[in-house]
Amino acid sequence: MAARVLTRCASRVLVSAAGEKGAAIRGTHRQYWTALRRTAAALTSGRAAVLLGVPALSCLGYEAYHRVQSSALVHALGKEEVLEQADYLYSCAETEKLYQLLLQHKDSNDAEFLWRLARASRDLALLPNMEADRKKQLVFDAFEYAKKALEKNDKCFAAHKWYAVCLSDVGDYKGVKVKIGNSYIIRGHLERAIELNPKDATSLHILGYWCFAFAELPWYQRKVAAVIFSSPPVSTYEEALEFFLKAEEVDPNFYSKNLLMLGKTYMAMRDREKALLWLTKAKEYPAHTLEDKEVHKEAVDLLKKLG
């Protein structure tokens, strides 16, 4: 993959260089004749002192323009390479390597770097045997990166998605009242992410999970929430199911946890046949990650309960 990236980048640079050389030659000829005409006119109008400086300034401006263009091109290629490498590492579950790669861009003003760094920081925090203090720091760092990504580009669906996720994580350290209060904000950002990209299965899944969590909230916890908030967040299993199914529709079999949640939602709705169907799919999903293995185990346990 690295070789493919380097080959593509090299070819783009060569094409760009060839194009710039031709443009420079054509530009020089145009500037020469334009300058000659302007100089001749100036000599007859008494403005020679001003206009004699124009050709030199034009050439400097032309060269500066191409230096800026070349710099922008290199920067764009650099960004593309890093993001491609980051997405590759993410697909391989190389969490530590991904984090170290993106950490070099923590001061970037580009939302594409920042939301990926937020995700990588969160994933690193969730690794087993992570020291408690470092885990907490990573969780709060992830939130700050997601927040900055959103500030830099509020039209980026992924920034909204990971801001919502990271805000939820931070709430785990701030108590029930803060966490419930943040729930409205979380849902709002997830809905905005889906509005910006209706085909993002992950956003649909997370919103489904949000609905499921509040649908299964025990009555006594609802009472407590009602004391703290006049109108605490509410949802239903039917609403959760709608988002889980939509996620599966836009990207079938994309995530083992979505299959599991479909099974659990149908169980909660007392639809045994469909619960068996989706839990079996979750059980048979290839276990590539630690989460996949946990999903497999839970699916097996739930299938035993269903008999």
CATH code of the domain in which 169 resides: 1.25.40.10
In total, how many domains does the chain have?
1
Compute the average pLDDT of residues 142-150.
98
Q: Is the residue at 174 inside a domain?
A: yes
Q: How far apart are CA 57 and CA 63, in angstroms?
A: 10
Task: Note the pLDDT tens digit of each residue in 44-83.
Answer: 333 332 222 323 333 333 233 333 333 333 344 489 999 9
Q: Please check whether residue 110 lies inside any domain of the structure.
A: yes
The dihedral built from the CA positions of residue 191, 153, 119 and 84, taken in this order, carries a sign that is positive
In a domain, 164, yes or no: yes
Looking at residue 33, its pLDDT comes to 36
pLDDT-derived band at 225, boundaries 50, 70, 90: confident
> Does 158 map to a domain?
yes
Domain range spanning residue 152? 96-197
Q: What is the pLDDT of residues 265-274, one digit of tens each?
A: 999 999 999 9
Number of H helices, E strands in the chain: 14, 0
- Mean pLDDT value of segment 87-105: 95
Whether residue 131 has pLDDT greater than 60: yes
Higher pLDDT, 231 or 9: 231
Task: Give pTM, 2 decimals.
Answer: 0.72
Lowest mean pLDDT among 54-63, 269-278, 284-293, 295-304: 54-63
Cβ neighbourhood burial of 124 (10 Å; 0-12, 13-18, 19+)? buried
Structural domain contains residue 213: no
Q: What is the average pLDDT score of the chain? A: 80
In a domain, 34, yes or no: no
Of residues 75 and 140, more confidence is placed in 140
Q: Does 247 fall in a domain?
A: no
Whether 209 maps to a domain, the answer reads no
8 A C-beta contact, residue 179 and residue 225: no
